[in-house]
Amino acid sequence: MSFINKIKQPQFFANFLKIAIPFFIIVTIVSLLMNSFSDIFAGNFTEVANLNFNNGKWISFFGIKIAISIFYGVYVTLKKTK
């Protein structure tokens, strides 16, 4: 079945969201832990915000993760759709 025909199926976007949203959440949590592990467990959330989100950093922080999650969600959904 072609890409267009798979996207036209009514369950495609429901299945896509079931894959992409949890993947986005997991990638975000892992990324925060990798970037700010000691600050998170020390309760220094101001430093976590400064390092990851302030001064427009949130755009690149979430933008990359959203793009990866969309790509992964579409890939897995297309692979599993029959």
pLDDT value at residue 5: 85
In a domain, 4, yes or no: no
Cβ neighbours of residue 81 closer than 8 Å, sequence gap 6 or more:
1, 6, 9, 11, 12, 15
27-78 residue pLDDT tens: 999 999 999 999 999 999 999 999 999 999 999 999 999 999 999 999 999 9
Write out the two tokens for 2.
Answer: 């072609």
* Domain contains 65: yes
Count of the separate structural domains present in the chain: 1
Residue pair 23/32 in contact by the 8 Å Cβ criterion? no
Does residue 3 sit within a domain? no
Cβ count near 62 (within 10 Å): 16
Q: Decide if 1 is inside a domain.
A: no
13 part of a folded domain? yes
pLDDT digits (tens, 9 = 90+) for 8-25: 888 999 999 999 999 999
Which has more pLDDT, 9 or 26? 26
Whole domain around residue 38: which residue ranges?
9-80
Residue 66 DSSP code: H
